[in-house]
Amino acid sequence: MIPYRPSAAGAVLAIIALALTAAPATAAPAQAVPREVVQAATVEPPPEVLDAMRRDLGLTREQVITRLGNEEQARRLQPKLRAKLKDRYAGSWVNQEGSLVVATTDAAAATAVTAAGAQAKVVARSLATLTSIKGALDTTAGQGALDAAAGKGAGRKVPVWFVDERANTVVVQALDTAAGEAFVAASGVDRAAVRIETITERPVTFQNLRGGDAYYISGGTRCSIGFPVTQGGTQGFVTAGHCGTPGLTTSGSGGQSQGTFQGSSFPGDDYSWVAVNSQWIARPAVNPYGTEMVPVFGSAEAPVGSAVCRSGSTTHWHCGTIQERNTSVTYSQGTIFQVVRTNVCAEPGDSGGPFISGYQAQGVTSGGSGNCSAGGTTFFQPVNEILNAYGLTLSTVSTQCAGHPNHHFNELTAHQGSFGNLIPDAGIYPPNGFASAGAGTHTACMDGSGTARMRLSLQKYTCCGPFGTPIWVEVATTGTGTTLKSLTTSQPAGTYRWVVSVSDSIVVPTTPIGEYYFLGTTSPA
């Protein structure tokens, strides 16, 4: 028998919960805009859009309607003016009322801009010039020239740069002025065209710790996260002892710094735990490499013969049964005692990954024999022993919604929209709907830390739109405002689906992107 030695080959990247935030704006006093633009702003927006813009932008209902109408006119007018100005075009934006402002390097062209219904601004540099400067900075960063000019690691001090069309310049945001100056100098661009700003924080992505995701030890070998845990105010995860020793560092997908091994025992035992930095959040979930997460409710020990499943970064999700407890197994490095033998397959890189029975954590993958093509035997180290050894607390789901036959556990995600916005995604369960053969009562319950901003709805399938596109009609909803959502509705026979959504039309600081929610549902057969 040999332990699973992780390998970097075939690594599966961990999923990033990205939240993009944007600072809310404060409305300025209304200003005169072209008459035809204001008259176009007569369409009532959806309630969710209206409410979110009133709340987050500090606008009145009338200002929201006017602004959306003006922005629609701006979207139509902007490409026409850009095409007309050609190399004299220097950028465009909308003001707080949504009216279009177009910059040009030609004072004579300003009259044509104004006549078309936009506001004109005459500037020194064309957008093509600014874009070229920004491109030179991109090239410098990609080639590592900044580190060469300002010393190793200097590139990390310049996290952001962009074209500021309103100011007709390129902005470099750096942690200190010297690093910003070195970056600009290394690129060889016109220093007068660049504004250097100092910032005190670095943009980071916040990543979820989930059982089964890959992690890398000291930048080399790969193992799998077992179960997220906490020790006091410190977050981390348990994993296999043979994956690392105290002091070794770990990284996540893309090489992002993650944590440090705090304790490890191997051989004799095969367990360890890693404390992570503030960019990582311990989630009570196992990644089954599907569309949803598996929640962790606790760590009650399952009897021999129980079904058990395992997640790992090499072979992902596999199941089998517990064959024997209190097993001793000898690897080339020595003997491991009191592990659990299973007929679940595993392969190198799956080491440290979670074993779970139902919603109860069982242990972390140690080693075994065979593979997931021909089958094999795998041993796991019981998780409760690890928790007791290091004084750790297992991250678990606490929910009031578990008393339903159907469970869904997932995180709120978003996708890239127009103008660089992130648009929240709806959670749909099940994706293709479920059939209810007769009339009856549908009930659902949803909770989670971010659910005050979410809605829970039941939709009914009706056929069909153009080209056979299915149409789903909302028949019941909870609205927003409370953390715990309950929905009960009587409906006729048909095909239905549950939908989790948020009131925000784009991602703003309070949108709960990355937050997990638990949904329990009961419906007629």
Per-residue pLDDT tens digits for 353-381: 999 998 899 999 999 888 999 888 899 99
The model's confidence at residue 34, banded by pLDDT at 50, 70 and 90, is: very low
pLDDT at 29: 30
Instruction: Inform me whether the pLDDT recorded for 191 exceeds 70.
Output: yes
The whole-model pTM stands at 0.63
Encoding tokens for residue 200? 């005190």
Mean pLDDT, residues 187-214 taken together:
81
Q: For the chain, give the mean pLDDT.
A: 82
DSSP label at 14? P
pLDDT at 22: 23
Active-site positions?
A: 242, 270, 351
Instruction: Name the more confident of 384 and 66.
Output: 384
What is the residue extent of each domain of the chain?
1-18+205-396, 25-123, 128-198, 406-522
Query: 128-198, which class in CATH?
Result: alpha beta
- The CATH code of domain 1-18+205-396 reads 2.40.10.10
Per-residue pLDDT tens digits for 294-312: 899 999 999 888 899 999 9
Compute how many other C-beta atoms are within 10 angstroms of the C-beta atom of residue 72: 15
Compute how many other C-beta atoms are within 10 angstroms of the C-beta atom of residue 222: 24
pLDDT at 207: 74
Instruction: Inform me whether the pLDDT recorded for 18 exceeds 50.
Output: no
- The CATH code of domain 25-123 reads 3.30.300.50
Those residues with Cβ within 8 angstroms of residue 231's Cβ, 6 or more apart along the chain or in another chain: 273, 275, 390, 391, 392, 393
Architecture of domain 406-522: Sandwich (2.60)
CB contact at 8 A, 417 and 474: no
Say yes or no: do domains 25-123 and 128-198 share a fold.
yes
Those residues with Cβ within 8 angstroms of residue 163's Cβ, 6 or more apart along the chain or in another chain: 91, 127, 130, 131, 133, 134, 170, 171
Per-residue pLDDT tens digits for 350-359: 999 999 998 8
